[in-house]
Chain A
Amino acid sequence: MLKTRGLYFSYRPEGGTPFALAGIDLEIYRGQHTAIIGPSGSGKTTLLKHFNGLLGPTRGEVLVSGRTTSCTSQLPSIRRICAMIFQNPDNQLVATTVEEEIAFGLENYRVDPKKIREQVDWAMGKLNISHLAAYPPHLLSGGQKRKVAVASAIAMQPQCLLADEPSSMLDPDSRRELQELLRSLQRELGLTLLQVTHYLEEAALADRVLLLDRGRVTADGPPEKVLTDLGRLHAAGLTSSTAAELAALLREEGLALPAGIVQNQELVDSLCLLKPSG
């Protein structure tokens, strides 16, 4: 579905700054939910922007469903395949009502107005925001703005969603709600979901986790493996989830906990199951 070959990228190719992406070879499969983690400045946003052609490689190649992003005539179709949800939703809002906002992308593609209406209504329904159709987007709460951004993206009926820290401004309840929503869209519509997150508890729900460090992929695998590789995470300046960190401390104390603990409840279940009865 998405592929990079020998991808290098510099914001100033004439030199002076290190590569923001320094040799990335990746293949993301159709329908997969991949979480990208990494310290601030490691290149997560830069990588995501390569998959819908907002940025083009300095060296190497990026392929979206077999189309190269280096060919500008392919960009319109690539952007319909891969829809992006940006880090800061305010930068994405352009219209005066929620429904115009969601229709905006489709109008750019000169989709038939009747079809636009249908897809906008469908997207608002999916996100439970039909009641906000006539509301000015800039007066919405952070969580609601996020939902509008997701609705705008899925209204395009993309095959792939690129979500850049969609939950970083949200409270815990809205975060969980958004996470469940993205998951169900991914399952129901067969979407490929590529999501950047700083919350490793959230990354734990993905099929696959990529760790980015200084423009390179330094770990790639299922969450229970990448998120419990504390050595590598610490080397990148990150800590794992609280449960994974606490499990490691308890193992040092001689508690025989199983490997692969990432979530609070997993730790609690293991502790209660394994505690020697006194």
Chain B
Amino acid sequence: MLIETERLTHIYSPGTPWECWALEGITLSWKPGSFVLIAGPSGSGKSTLIQHFNGLLLPSSGRVLIDGEELGSDKAALGRIRRRLGLVFQIPEQQFFAETVFDEVAFAAANLGLSSAEVARRVKVSLERVGLDYEQFRGRSPFNLSAGQQRLVAIASLLPLELEALILDEPAAGLDSGGRRQLALLLADLRRQGMTVIVVSHHLGDFISLADQILFLERGRVVAAGEVEGVLRRLAQGYEPYLPPVTDIMRRLVLRGAGVSTAVFELAAAREEIVSWWGGNSG
């Protein structure tokens, strides 16, 4: 799915004392099948931006185009987009309504007019893909799960649909390191199937090895955008706490005069880089 914006501006509560320019003139274009990370301090406009991609919010000025078609107030067109593009909210509880995990995950699939056996099969597969045991969780109330489990259920509930794009708002918040790894594997799998994936995350490290593109926002404006290496180089100048931990270790080594590359995000690559520096003569 081709996702584009042209000089997108969003103003909350215009003309009131709480008027807030959440986005100011954002222009971007992401090719179908892209894996995009959106990062930036809280309040920088990340959640506001992604809610424009399925028309939950409409621009104060500028345009949003999905596969070349402008999103506007046309209800039928918005309905079509929402069947192709799924959004997982920051606080998953806000999107639950069913009494059991099974019904929550089955809802979208049942709406596709599938047989109940096929719905049950898709629910089972979806729960297992996010790492939740079907027998253990199917009868539980989604409201009584731990926060991390709730997030996994929210993601599972979108998997039975055959989406072209999936957008997740801070999916790693509240997940333990095992859950974050599981989520990264799932997203890698979706990407391999050609899905466009957009992830909002403060922690670039969790998904960096999957990303084609990073967009870094601050106060509604773009600080850096584009391919991973270039953006990380920019973030190393004043936005260090946002760097993936491995990249931060390499950066600190370079500051101490070590001859290592900073364009490294994964443990295995860091090990090689450090071992060869350690054995070598330079630095």
Please list the residues of chain A having a beta carbon within 8 angstroms of any beta carbon in chain B: 11, 38-41, 45, 87-88, 90, 136, 139, 141-143, 165, 168-174, 176, 198, 200-201, 237-239, 241-243, 245-246, 249-250, 253, 255, 264-265, 267-268, 271-272, 275-276, 278
Question: Would you mind naming 29 contact pairs between A and B with Cβ atoms under 8 Å apart?
Answer: A11-B144, A40-B146, A40-B174, A136-B18, A142-B43, A143-B42, A168-B147, A168-B173, A169-B90, A169-B174, A198-B174, A200-B177, A238-B176, A239-B178, A242-B246, A242-B249, A243-B249, A246-B246, A246-B249, A249-B267, A255-B274, A264-B252, A268-B249, A268-B256, A272-B256, A272-B257, A272-B258, A275-B283, A278-B282
Interface mask (B81-95 → A, CB under 8 Å = 1, otherwise 0) = 000000000110100
Q: Cβ of B176 and Cβ of A237 under 8 Å apart?
A: yes
Which residue in chain A gives the minimum CB-CB distance to B280? A278
B271 cross-chain contacts in A, Cβ below 8 A: 246, 249-250, 253
Q: Cβ of B245 and Cβ of A242 under 8 Å apart?
A: yes
Complex Cα distance, B205 from A243, in Å, reads: 13
Q: Cβ of B241 and Cβ of A173 under 8 Å apart?
A: yes
Give the number of residues in B that approach A within 8 Å (Cβ atoms).
49
Q: Cβ of B176 and Cβ of A40 under 8 Å apart?
A: yes
Q: Looking at the assembled complex, report how far the CB atom of B85 sits from the nearest CB atom of chain A, in whole angstroms.
A: 24
Q: Identify A242's interface contact among B145, B147, B181, B205, CB under 8 A.
A: B205
Top 3 nearest A-B pairs (CB, nearest first) are A40-B148, A278-B281, A172-B241
The A-contacting residues of B in range 164-185, CB under 8 angstroms, are 170, 173-179, 181
| B42, B173, B181: most-surrounded residue (chain A CB, <10 A) | B42
Q: Looking at the assembled complex, report how far the CB atom of A233 sits from the nearest CB atom of chain B, in whole angstroms.
A: 8
Q: Cβ of A169 and Cβ of B18 under 8 Å apart?
A: no
- B58 within 8 Å of A by Cβ? no
Contacts A40-B147, A170-B202, A253-B275 given; indicate if A238 touches B249 (C-beta within 8 A).
no
Q: Cβ of B242 and Cβ of A172 under 8 Å apart?
A: yes
Which residue in chain A gives the minimum CB-CB distance to B241? A172
Q: Cβ of B249 and Cβ of A88 under 8 Å apart?
A: no
Q: Looking at the assembled complex, report how far the CB atom of B96 sits from the nearest CB atom of chain A, in whole angstroms.
A: 13
Contacts A40-B148, A255-B278 given; indicate if A173 touches B178 (C-beta within 8 A).
no
Q: Cβ of B205 and Cβ of A168 under 8 Å apart?
A: no
Extra contacts besides A40-B146, A172-B202, A239-B177 (17): CB < 8 Å: A39-B176, A39-B179, A90-B91, A165-B174, A169-B170, A171-B42, A171-B242, A198-B176, A238-B177, A243-B249, A246-B274, A250-B274, A255-B275, A268-B253, A268-B256, A271-B258, A271-B274
Q: Identify A40's interface contact among B93, B179, B181, B202, CB under 8 A.
A: B179
Interface mask (B146-162 → A, CB under 8 Å = 1, otherwise 0) = 11110000000000000
Q: Identify B178's interface contact among A142, A238, A271, A278, CB under 8 A.
A: A238
Q: Looking at the assembled complex, report how far the CB atom of A276 sits from the nearest CB atom of chain B, in whole angstroms.
A: 8
Q: Looking at the assembled complex, report how far the CB atom of A158 sits from the nearest CB atom of chain B, in whole angstroms.
A: 24
Q: Identify A41's interface contact among B42, B146, B246, CB under 8 A.
A: B146
Q: Cβ of A40 and Cβ of B149 under 8 Å apart?
A: yes
Q: Looking at the assembled complex, report how far the CB atom of A111 sits from the nearest CB atom of chain B, in whole angstroms.
A: 31
Q: Looking at the assembled complex, report how far the CB atom of B93 sits from the nearest CB atom of chain A, in whole angstroms.
A: 8
Which residue in chain A gives the minimum CB-CB distance to B140? A17
B248 cross-chain contacts in A, Cβ below 8 A: 264
Which residue in chain A gives the minimum CB-CB distance to B12? A139
A168 cross-chain contacts in B, Cβ below 8 A: 147, 173-174
